[in-house]
Amino acid sequence: MTSWLLLATAGAATSAPEGGLFDLDATLPLMAVQVVVLTFLLNALFFRPVGRVVEDREGFINLSRTESKQKLAQVQRLEADLAEQLKGARQEAQQLIVEAEQEVDKLYREALALAQADANASRDHARREIESQREQALAALSKESDRLGDLIVNRLLAAQ
């Protein structure tokens, strides 16, 4: 094909007079054919594979974008679920704290009542013991005073 093109250009160049802005001889159709053939060759060899690669890449990007949107939606659902679980856990913890405080308060009141009852029992026991000792001391003093009184009377009578 190249030899035919060279012949066509050589023949056209020798027969046509030179000059003017455009030479409208066999070179114009030859160049048009070359441009069309080159366009088909470039399209077949370069542009279609590059176009396929670009389309594949675009498909991959669209697929990745769709998957990422789905994953983002799933993450948002999971985040909402976890937030709700956290809220429930906080409420349970708060409830446990309230129950524990009530239990501690109940135990404190029971311990306080027990301590007061123990203190009252100890005080009553001490009061009875003191009263008993007082009565014993009064009885001993009474006996001692009777004995001293008898002793004084006996001495006075003996002295008289």
Longest dimension (CA), the chain: 198
Sign of CA dihedral 38, 43, 47, 53: negative
User: For residue 112, is it within any domain?
Assistant: yes
User: For residue 34, is it within any domain?
Assistant: yes
User: For residue 13, is it within any domain?
Assistant: no
pLDDT category of residue 32 using cuts at 50, 70 and 90: confident
Tokens representing 22 are 């455009």
Q: How many distinct structural domains can be found in the chain?
A: 1
pTM, two decimals, is 0.44
User: For residue 4, is it within any domain?
Assistant: no
User: For residue 14, is it within any domain?
Assistant: no
Q: Is the pLDDT of residue 83 over 90?
A: yes
pLDDT category of residue 56 using cuts at 50, 70 and 90: very high
* Percentage of residues in the chain having pLDDT higher than 90: 58
Nearest CA among 12, 8, 11, 10 for reference residue 25: 12
Residue with tokens 């190249």: 2
Q: Which residue has the higher pLDDT, 66 or 149?
A: 66
Structural domain that includes position 47: 27-159
Do 12 and 27 contact (CB within 8 A), yes or no?
yes
pLDDT category of residue 120 using cuts at 50, 70 and 90: very high
pLDDT attached to residue 78: 96
User: For residue 19, is it within any domain?
Assistant: no
CB atoms within 10 A of CB 9: 15
Distance (Å, rounded) from C-alpha 36 to C-alpha 4?
17
User: For residue 96, is it within any domain?
Assistant: yes
pLDDT attached to residue 111: 95
Nearest CA among 6, 37, 9 for reference residue 25: 9
Q: Which residue has the higher pLDDT, 151 or 24?
A: 151
User: For residue 43, is it within any domain?
Assistant: yes
